[in-house]
Amino acid sequence: MASTSFSTYGYKCTRACTSLLLLWLAMCSYSFAHQTKVDTLIVTNSKAWKPFSYISQDGEPKGILIDFWREYAERNHVRVEFLLLDWEESLRAVKEGRADVHAGLIYSEARDKYLDFGAVIMPIQTKLYVNKDMLAVDIKGVLTGEVELPIGLVKGSYEAEFVRANYPRASLVEYLNNDAMIRAAVEKNILYFVADLQVANFHMATTPDAGMFVPTLNLYSKDLRIATGQHSSIPVTKISHDFEKIIDSDKERILNRWSLVKTVYPIYLLPIAIFIMVIATLYHIFALKRMVTLRTKQLTLANQQLLELTLTDPLTKLYNRRHLIERLATLSSLQKNVTVMVFDIDDFKSINDKYGHLIGDQAIVAVADTAKSLTDERITLARIGGEEFALVTASLSEKEAETLAKAICSCVYDRPVLLNGQAIHVSVSLGCAYYREFKGIINLHEADQLMYCGKMNGKNCAMFKVIDKSKVEPLLRQVP
């Protein structure tokens, strides 16, 4: 009897222990699954919005916003998965809960009905682009509908919403994404389209015949913001707070990386080359090697010429005025200390009159080389016209900015320029405006005025001024 009782008791204990073990395993499994869900953030955006977000030829997500969110994942120790779709479908993905957060979009009242908007990521400018053959046509007539020429837009985009609200009579045609719209423009299916400045510049530098379009009307400047839907696993306030962990230097590094156009080679080039090498004779191998070398040199030369046309000044090899203005607009979003310098060569007209314009060009190049030797990759140095130069950066302290300004003046004068066989001392007058934690869009005006103060004070000097203001004036110098 005792033996039977003991056996029954042991059996019950075994069952109880087994049940507790299974319950513990189930709770651990649920906890792990829940933790995995929270730690994985589904981020959506457009699959063809170059250079902000797009799918590359090898199927990988790339772009400025993609790099921002990868930096976010690294800083906050979370896993980010990208869901890149057509623009309208990306909005629907957040609304329906297939994605937790939209990588970046512009606020509107219509979107605010189903999205919660958070922190600002970066500003963008949007313009109306026109085929060069249509410049003689009155643009106002196209926008008011008096001239029935369709304007290309991306379906579901903010620019489509903006144009419909402000130009309701304009003839419009919508495309699923920016790539489809630009392709239609190149094929002359449309002669007008609306696009962001960065998007248009990217396609003009990488797409054949895209340069036939020019910007004619600035429509708006807005901020790209984070946005979540009601089904998001993390509230937008938490994501915005965590996004601030991306420091300004990392943002600037990412933006600088995308300021240059990347060359993408066709995926079929390597297989074709391998096939030819396998079936060819020794003579054909040497011939192929020679041909590849020649083509590579031609491609390198073409890329260098493209880079010079889009970003650099052909005489000095510095950045050009267009790139400097775009860089100024980008720095406006960082809200940190910004240094702006403007300087030009003193008495440059007398150099041209005495030695000729070719010698004058040599003086410009010499000053550019001296200034470039005093800067690094954190500083954007540009020739903005004639003998005039400018630089901008958000990486210098007040003392460092003043020291650099004085160094440029002194080094230019201390390095004689060989002009027509004579060593000539060339000087510059420089104005340096230091904006202390500004808000708004910066300009060149203050630095320009300081430069002219230097000329009135005897030339060959640097005038430095700290500017404290919550909002500066709009840009006074636009891209020609």
**Tens digit of each residue's pLDDT (9 = 90 or more) over 135-191:** 888 899 999 999 999 999 999 999 999 999 999 999 999 999 999 999 999 999 999
- Name 368's Cβ contacts closer than 8 Å, sequence gap at least 6: 316, 317, 318, 383, 389
Confidence (pLDDT) at 475:
37
pLDDT at position 30 over 50: no
State yes or no: is 387 an active-site residue: yes
pLDDT band with cut points at 50, 70 and 90 for residue 380: very high
Residues 201 and 248 in one domain: no
Residues 49 and 97 in one domain: yes
Average pLDDT over residues 462-473: 74
Confidence (pLDDT) at 277:
74
pLDDT band with cut points at 50, 70 and 90 for residue 413: very high
Going from the C-alpha of 9 to that of each of 6, 12, 16, 400, the distances in angstroms are: 5, 5, 11, 82
Confidence (pLDDT) at 24:
59
Average pLDDT over residues 270-277: 72
Confidence (pLDDT) at 276:
72
Residues 101 and 234 in one domain: yes
Give me the number of domains the chain comprises.
4
Residues 149 and 220 in one domain: yes
pLDDT at position 2 over 90: no
Q: CA-based diameter of the chain, in Å?
A: 127
Confidence (pLDDT) at 11:
55
Confidence (pLDDT) at 4:
45
pLDDT band with cut points at 50, 70 and 90 for residue 129: very high
Residues 104 and 233 in one domain: yes
86-95, 363-372, 419-428, 469-478: the lowest-pLDDT one = 469-478
What does the H/E/C string look like for the chain?
A: CHHHHHHHHHHHHHHHHHHHHHHHHHHHHHHHHHHHHHHEEEEEEECEECCCEEECCCCCEECHHHHHHHHHHHHHCCEEEEEEECHHHHHHHHHHCCCCEEEEECCCHHHHCCCEEEEEEEEEEEEEEEEHHHCCCCHHHHHHCCCCCCEEEECCCHHHHHHHHHCCCCCEEEECCHHHHHHHHHCCCCCEEEEEHHHHHHHHHHCCCHHHEEEEEEEEEEEEEEEECCCCCCCHHHHHHHHCCCCHHHHHHHHHHCCCCCCCCCCCHHHHHHHHHHHCCHHHHHHHHHHHHHHHHHHHHHHHHHHHHHHECCCCCCECHHHHHHHHHHHCCCCCCEEEEEEEECCHHHHHHHHCHHHHHHHHHHHHHHHHHCCCCCCEEEEEECCEEEEEECCCCHHHHHHHHHHHHHHHHHCCEEECCEEECCCEEEEEEEECCCCCCCCCHHHHHHHHHHHHCCCCCEEEEEECCCCCCCCCCCCC
Copy the structure tokens of residue 275: 């096939």
- Average pLDDT over the chain, rounded to whole? 84
**CATH, residue 47:** 3.40.190.10
Confidence (pLDDT) at 17:
59
- Classify residue 5: in a domain, yes or no: no
pLDDT at position 61 over 60: yes
- Classify residue 33: in a domain, yes or no: no
Between residues 476 and 102, the one the model is more confident about: 102
Confidence (pLDDT) at 472:
44
Residues 89 and 214 in one domain: no
Provide the residue range defining the domain that includes 69: 39-108+228-257
pLDDT digits (tens, 9 = 90+) for 215-263: 989 999 999 999 999 888 889 999 999 988 887 888 888 888 886 444 4
Residues 330 and 354 in one domain: yes
pLDDT at position 309 over 80: no
- Classify residue 157: in a domain, yes or no: yes
Residues 238 and 377 in one domain: no
Average pLDDT over residues 44-54: 93
- Classify residue 14: in a domain, yes or no: no
Residues 329 and 198 in one domain: no
Residues 49 and 127 in one domain: no
Confidence (pLDDT) at 418:
85
Between residues 260 and 331, the one the model is more confident about: 331
Q: Which residue is catalytic, options 89, 387, 388, 446?
A: 387
Residues 99 and 241 in one domain: yes
Percent of the chain, pLDDT > 90? 56
Between residues 22 and 148, the one the model is more confident about: 148
Q: Model-level pTM? A: 0.47
**CATH, residue 462:** 3.30.70.270
Residues 349 and 379 in one domain: yes
